[in-house]
Amino acid sequence: MTTPSPDSHADAPLHHQRDARGVHTLTLNQPKAFNVLSQAMLAELQRQIDLIAADEGARVLVIAAEGKAFCAGHDLKQMKAHPQLDYYQALFAQCSRAMLSLLKLPIPVIARVQGLATAAGCQLVAQCDLAVAAQEARFGVNGIDVGLFCATPSVPLVRNMQPKQAMEMLLTGGFISADEARARGLVNRVVPAAELDVAVDDLVAAILSKPREAIASGKEMFYRQRELGIEAAYQLAGQSMACNMMLDVAQEGVQAFMEKRAPSWRQ
C-alpha cells in the first residue's frame, strides 16, 4: 500500500509517497513548467529529503516526474528576475545542498526518467545512485546555449562518465539519447515507456532483498573512497568491510551460505 505524505496536496510542487516496504517516491509535479528547479521546488525537495533521512524504516527513494519532461533544470525566468551575485550564490548553494543530501542518504536513490532531463535536471539524474530511463528520454547540459556553462551539473556528470564525453556535452550543449546515456554510464537501464515502472520495481525489489545495514555502510564507503588515493581508499574499504562483517546480517548471511540455505534477515 502506498500512502501520500500527510502534507501532500494536488497542487504541491512535489508529491511524496511512502509504501509499506519503506519505499519513498518523490514526484516532481509541475509538468507545465517542465518541472524546473525553482526556489520553491528546491526548498520542498530539501524538506522531503530531510524527512526521508529521519525515517529509520526507509529502504529506497525513487525520484520521478509528471509530464513530458523529467526536469528542465533551473528556472531561468526566476534567475533573470534577480540579477544579483548574492542571489545566484544562494540559489546554487541551495541546489548543491539538495544534491549532497541525496548522496548522504543511507538508502539507494533511483531516478525514474520518463522524459527530458537537461542542465540541473541532468545533474539530478547523475546525482542519483541508479537511473532507469524510458527510450524517449533525452539528456543534456545545455546551459552553454544561453551563455552559462553548466558548472554544478558537471560535478556529478564527470563522476558518471568519461571526462571527454562529459566535456563534449558541456561545451556543445548537445543532447544524447537514452541509449547513449546508458552507453556513457549515466543511466543503468533503458526500457520502453510502458515498461518503466516494472524496470524500476525490479531494481527496488532487488535492493529490498538485501540488508539495509550493509547497503547503508556500503553506499557511504563507495562515495568516500572515490575521492581518495588508492592506498587511502583500500584502507577505508578494508575498515568498512571489517565493520560490516561484525553486523548480525553478515554473520547470518555467511552462516546461511555455509549451510546452503537462504539467509534469515529481518527487513
Digit-coded pLDDT (tens) for 45-72:
999 999 999 999 999 999 999 999 999 9
Asked if 2-208 and 212-258 have one fold, the answer is no
Cβ neighbours of residue 243 under 8 Å, at least 6 residues apart?
A: 217
| Closest C-alpha among 148, 142, 169 to residue 157 | 169
In angstroms, the CA 47 to CA 43 distance is 6
Residue 7: pLDDT band (50, 70, 90) is low
Does 4 have pLDDT greater than 70? no
Question: pLDDT value at position 10?
Answer: 58
Tell me how crowded residue 59 is: count the other CB atoms within 10 A of its CB: 21
Reported as a single tens digit per residue, the pLDDT across 108-150 is 999 999 999 999 999 999 999 999 999 999 999 999 999 999 9
- The C-alpha atoms of residue 37 and residue 107 are separated, in whole angstroms, by 23
Question: According to DSSP H, which parts of 81-211 are helical?
Answer: 85-104, 120-127, 151-157, 163-172, 178-184, 196-208
Please give the pLDDT value at position 243. 84
**77-86 contacts: CB < 8 A, separation 24 or more?**
78/38, 78/39
Q: Check: CB of residue 73 under 8 Å from CB of residue 121.
A: yes
Write out the CATH class of domain 212-258: mainly alpha
pTM for the full predicted model: 0.92
Of residues 266 and 226, the one with the higher pLDDT is 226
Residue with the bigger pLDDT between 136 and 259: it is 136
What are the tens digits of pLDDT across the range 185-202? Answer: 999 999 999 999 999 999
Residue-range domain boundaries for the chain = 2-208, 212-258
In CATH, which superfamily holds the domain spanning 2-208?
2-enoyl-CoA Hydratase; Chain A, domain 1 (3.90.226.10)
pLDDT recorded at residue 103: 96
**219 vs 86, 102, 105, 107, 152, CA distance in Å?**
34, 11, 9, 8, 22
218-244 pLDDT tens trace: 999 999 999 998 898 888 888 888 888
